[in-house]
Amino acid sequence: MESYTPKNILITGAAGFIASHVTNRLMRNHPGYKIVVLDKLDYCSNLNNLLPSRSSPNFKFVKGDIGSADLVNHLLVTESIDTIMHFAAQTHVDNSFGNSFEFTKNNIYGTHVLLEACKVAAGQIKRFIHVSTDEVYGETEEDAVVGNHEASQLLPTNPYSATKAGAEMLVMAYGRSYGLPVITTRGNNVYGPNQFPEKLIPKFILLAMKGLTLPIHGDGSNVRSYLYCEDVAEAFEVVLHRGEVGHVYNIGTKKERRVIDVARDICGLFNLDPETKIKFVENRPFNDQRYYLDDQKLKNLGWSERMTWEDGLRKTVDWYTKNPDWWGDVSGALVPHPRMLMMPGRVEQPLKSSESNGFPEKPNPEHMVVPHLKTSNSLVQKHTPYKFLIYGRTGWIGGLLGKLCEKDGIAYEYGRGRLEDRTQLLADLRSVKPTHVFNAAGITGRPNIDWCESHKTETIRANVAGVLTLADVCREHGLLLVNFATGCIFEYDAAHPQGSGIGFKEEDIPNFTGSFYSKTKAMVEELLKEYDNVCNLRIRMPISSDLKNPRNFIGKISRYDKVVNIPNSMTILD
């Protein structure tokens, strides 16, 4: 069988448990691979899991959601991705009984976004490895001596496994309909260092460390197969290089253990009496009795399990004993039914502050958003709460900014001066004494931008000279200026063909000159690059739930006689 060698790999969910071990192994064994990791840093993710990889020049971390089509398309193009290993998912079964819609959103919709991006990339992706679970098979009969093979029927029994089965159907369909080079894996339970303690083994270890009781769902007779994390990481390494496109591979073990026996083994390592430290609690709405896999197909590729249960559990206990605070406060996860952790992003783990234990704590000046400004001769109030000075009171954006300030209890005032009049702007600063300045003022034309074609002087005065004057006054007094700009400065070109999903980035040079309005907005953006105190926010075709507002694009387009059939981005203002 011909071996596959990737060049640029995108790994989703890489700050999670299994994916972080896979990422670190690939970086260690194949330092020439470029690996881009994408993770939204949900409660069960931790950037510290990726510490072994962060020093590599071929490693890149991107915080983001697989549900963002724009972000996924952008990464595939700009990073020249040829391989995707898709781990990102909501995985805790208990949580799926409490908020199954979140599982559908992450596990099915997120997978669909990735597949669609691969389709749009038109042959760029050479491997798409989809990570599924043994739970899609449903229960294995207690007396079965042969495990589920890859062609077995899928009979999921809980919301989590149902979403994973649904995602698998999409993967299979895209493989057949569009020829995507897909491979699917279905794995047994995994344990080892770095795992968030909502899962059984790390939860039991942390409870045992505290001398607390270990809660067991039901009577503890449920049987599970446990694989050590490094064995699983090696399995993915094998599938990546030797797996056959269009195939499914079980990642399993024949070594099964009852949940009650796992609890007893952990009690034994802490010299605890299992008779007093094990507590039986209410079972899940449905708890499969057994999952048993036939892993011969993967073994035929050259993989085999290396770690014994005894050694793996001892290594895991040793790691948690040495790293008790790896996850911070996890008391909410240690209860018998921790469904409250389903809130997305509830616990986002920061990097450790020291250079030796985390990513560098010094900010990269090239990526600073808010500059460090001199405040001598400043009119800004010092050591006071925020106070915003907003220009563009009569505009839609400016009016909404005021409402947001009122809602959040932020002091604000609207500017009275004209942007092109420096004296009036200085008077506003003296009167308001703001901490920040927002500019939503400018000329867009009435009733539309065609007005600007016959009023070029007025348009330049407001959109170029006025904005530059405000930026200069703000810099002189140590103030950050947030300037609301427009995305109407681009048009599709050879590098961004229509329908490709390739969007324009912040650093791209404006290329649309079809209106004088757009020319002035592109011109002022270029000139504002000389001001390190300005943050430009581009807006395109703003829409909101305020359907009565005449400037809402939803209302505007409903009144058009004709509509141009060209895809455009939109900005949601709610």
What is the H or E stretch that residue 93 is in?
Answer: helix 93-98
Beta strand 256-258 with 223-228 is antiparallel
Percentage of residues in the chain having pLDDT higher than 90: 65
Reading the block at residue 49, the tokens are 């899991």
Distance CA 10, CA 254 (A): 31
Please state which of the ranges 385-399, 501-515, 555-569 shows the lowest mean pLDDT: 555-569
pLDDT (0 to 100) of residue 382:
44
- Residues 535-548 pLDDT 10s: 999 999 888 888 77
Question: Quick one: average pLDDT of 563-573?
Answer: 84
Predicted local confidence at residue 33, as pLDDT = 98
Residues, the chain, total?
574
CA dihedral 423, 425, 426, 431 (to 10 degrees): 130
- The runs of H, that is alpha helices, within 221-308 are 229-242, 259-269, 274-277, 296-299
Half-sphere exposure of residue 173, counting CA atoms within 13 Å on the CB side?
10
Q: How many CA atoms lie within 13 A of 498 on its CB side?
A: 6
Token pair, residue 457, equals 């002087």
The pLDDT value recorded for residue 355 is 35
25: nearest Cα among 76, 2, 59, 64: 59
The reported pLDDT for the residue numbered 1 is 64
455-484 tens-digit pLDDT? 999 999 999 999 999 999 999 999 999 999
CATH number of 387-539: 3.40.50.720
The Cα–Cα gap between 471 and 371 comes to 14
Give residue 100's pLDDT.
85
Closest CA to 490 of 475, 505, 472: 505
Each residue of 489-518: pLDDT tens digit? 999 999 888 877 788 889 899 999 889 999
The tens digit of pLDDT for each residue in 247-269 reads 999 999 988 899 999 999 999 99
Rounded mean pLDDT of the chain?
87
Topology (CATH) of 8-342: Rossmann fold (3.40.50)
Please tell me which residue, 318 or 573, carries the higher pLDDT value. Answer: 318
- Residue 365 is predicted with a pLDDT of 35
Nearest-5° angle of CA 257, CA 258, CA 264? 95
**How much is the average pLDDT of 136-145?**
77
Give CATH 3.40.50.720 domain extents, the chain.
8-342, 387-539
Confidence of residue 339 (pLDDT cuts 50, 70, 90): low
Chain segment 19-60, per-residue pLDDT in tens? 999 999 999 999 999 999 999 998 889 999 999 999 999 999
Instruction: Name the percent of the chain lying above pLDDT 70.
Output: 90
Has this prediction a pTM greater than 0.85?
Answer: no
Active site residues: 134-135, 160
CA nearest neighbour of 301 among 130, 183, 167, 124: 183
**pLDDT: is 95 or 160 the higher one?**
160
Residue 122, C-beta contacts closer than 8 angstroms, at least 6 positions apart: none
Burial string for 3-31 (b: 16+ CB within 10 Å, else e) reads ebebebbbbbbbbbbbbbbbbbbbbeebe
The model's pLDDT over 216-237, given as tens digits with 9 standing for 90+, comes to 988 888 888 999 999 999 999 9
Asked whether the beta carbons of 73 and 116 are under 8 A apart, the reply is: no
285 or 211, greater pLDDT = 211
